[in-house]
Amino acid sequence: MERSGVSRRALGALALGSAAMGLSGCEGGHETDLKPRSRQFPKDFVWGVATAAFQTEGSQAVDGRGPSVWDLFEKVPGHVKDKSDATVATDSYRRFQEDVDLIAGAGLSAYRFSISWSRVMPTGGRTVNAAGLDHYSKLVDALLAKGISPYATLFHWDLPQGLQDKGGWANRDTALRFADYAHAVVDKLGDRLKNYIILNEAAVHAVFGHVLGEHAPGLKDINLLGKVVHHMNLGQGLAMRALRAAQGDLQVGTTMALQPCRPAGGLFWNRLAADGLDALWNKAWLDPLFKGTYPKDMDDLLKGVIQDGDLKTVRQPVDFLGVNYYAPAYVRLDLSSPSKIAPANPPRGAELDAFGRHIDPSGLFETLDRVRREYGAPRMMVTENGCSDPFGSGPAILDDQFRITYLRRHLEAVLAAREAGCDVRGYFEWTLIDNFEWDLGYTSKFGLVAMDRKTGVRTPKASYSWFKALAGNGLLPA
Ligand code: IFM
């Protein structure tokens, strides 16, 4: 495989989460806020919260669940910042009814959760574990009983370890097994579960899990990247077909971590780096789905990977595109590194959240509007947006005015995008309860609700009430 050129250079920039690590500052500011003409969301706008199985469920060894790549990864010393793990998490496998009550208590119309593949198919093979599916059946029923629409993500990074042992997403067979799993889910739940999100943030799993080694499966092998990217896109296409073949009344979408890729300081030579990153981070997922192509910059990585008919399979109609947005990415050209590219800081003076992410609502507008302009104006949902708490674990965490401000400003961007013609139908805040934030363990909290990890007791924060009022009348406070 070719190891130079933009595709290779782009990889060097992919320490996206590290953009604030003091590598280089960017001059020049961005106007980050947008002022919509109206502050009123339509009556049928979908208001929800989003979670993921591994970050919340706990109960890893019950009802026949098989291990996932994250079960192994989290146990390796050094992988999780606070040496914690997700064996209990928010205990939501057992306490799901409390979660549902919280969602209902906030008057939300939708809940986005993910299904754990290894609960449904413990080794990733064809054998279905009925007890695993039963859990999600109960969850779906509990939601419907409260008038909440379930949105289920099929893959939120917790690949069955049995499949990883055979090469994981680098193995083409995983794409076929994923379609089997999608079929098993719709077969059991499709009579009540109507909204499907196929993949969550495939770019993050591909890059952080296979190139940077910061997420499971913890690999650092650039040679896997082209295969992983394509097989995830292929699995997505096959799963969409499997769902639709099983049932005709489903809403089928997928969720991407889209980020504007910006050159540090707006400099011309840094633009090359930003374009390279954009190809891998955004276009390598959007182009196959909407156009049946890959960006040219991916050619080297994909050499020998794509088979006849694949590009037809990866291009599928979507009922909605899920957009997860947190921050833009900044990159710069770095002649001293073999990749010629490096992550860079946001503009000097830019506001950062406790995660170190640049708070920039204009990036959300830019992202939604780009999808509208370049990908045929699909229906969209913001399937994640939120920020982490800067307060550690003290009582101040409950009066999270900074989160309210963050959400308000990003929802202004959503309104402005709608006014510009973007067909945005819903917004899912990330997340319901402070949970296991992957390699950061419990040190980074995004919840509308705090949780005492000793007792599991949930306490709503100020943002919970604020979000409830908004979901109630759709009017965004100034
Ligand atoms: O917690 C994650 C989630 O799993 C995927 N999107 C970003 C969130 C916050 O970092």
pLDDT at position 4 is 29
Ligand 1, atom 1, lies closest to the CA of 437
Q: How far is the CA of 364 from the centre of ligand 1 (A)?
A: 16
Taking the complete model, does pTM exceed 0.85, yes or no? yes
3-472 belongs to CATH 3.20.20.80: yes
- pLDDT at residue 341, as a whole number: 64
pLDDT score for 360: 96
- How many C-beta atoms lie closer than 10 Å to residue 395's C-beta? 9
In angstroms, what is the span from residue 353 Cα to ligand 1's centroid? 14
Burial 303-326 (b: 16+ CB within 10 A, else e): eebbeeebbebbbbebbbbbbbbb
Closest ligand 1 atom to the C-alpha of 50?
A: 3
- 3-class secondary structure, 172: coil
**Predicted local distance difference test score (pLDDT) of residue 30:** 53
Three-class SS state of 79: coil
- The preferred substitution site among 153, 254, 438 for testing ligand 1, maximizing ligand atoms within 8 Å of CB, is 438
Instruction: From the CA of 384, give the closest atom in ligand 1.
Output: 6
Catalytic residue of the set 214, 366, 384, 412: 384
Q: So what's the pLDDT on residue 394?
A: 75
Residue 386 CA: nearest ligand 1 atom is 9
Q: Could you say which residues of the chain have pLDDT below 70?
A: 1-31, 337-341
Q: Which residues line ligand 1 (CB under 6 A)?
A: 52, 55, 201, 324, 384, 430, 437, 446
At 368-398, the pLDDT tens digits run 999 999 999 999 999 999 999 877 777 789 9
d(CA 328, CA 468): 28
d(CA 255, CA 422): 17
- 201 as an active site residue: the answer is yes
**Mutation choice for ligand 1 from 157, 215, 384, 433, CB with most ligand atoms inside 8 A:** 384
* Ramachandran quadrant class, 309 (left: phi over 0; alpha: psi -120 to 50; beta: rest): left
Spatial CB neighbours of 4, under 8 Å, sequence gap ≥ 6 = none
Measured in Å, residue 436 CA sits from the centre of ligand 1 at: 10
User: Alpha carbon of 151 to those of 52, 70, 189, 292: distances in Å?
Assistant: 11, 23, 12, 26
Quote the pLDDT of residue 266: 87
Q: What are the distances in angstroms from CA 222 to CA 93, 212, 340, 476?
A: 36, 9, 16, 44
For residue 422, the model assigns a pLDDT of: 98
Q: Which of 353, 431, 444 to mutate to test the pocket of ligand 1 (most atoms within 8 A of CB)?
A: 431
For residue 433, the model assigns a pLDDT of: 98
> What are 49-67's pLDDT values in tens digits?
999 999 999 999 999 999 9
Nearest CA to ligand 1 atom 10: 437
Mutate to test the pocket of ligand 1, among 114, 200, 201 (most ligand atoms within 8 A of CB): 201
Closest Cα to atom 4 of ligand 1: 52
Between the CA of 437 and the centroid of ligand 1 the distance, in Å, is 7
Contacts of 191 (CB under 8 A, 6+ apart): none
Catalytic residue among 74, 201, 412, 437: 201
For residues 312 and 286, what is the distance between their CA atoms, to the nearest angstrom? Answer: 14
Structural tokens at position 474: 């759709």
Compute the distance from residue 304 Cα to the ligand 1 centre, in Å.
32
Please tell me the distance between residue 157's alpha carbon and the centre of ligand 1 in angstroms.
Answer: 11
CA of 335 to the centre of ligand 1 (A): 32
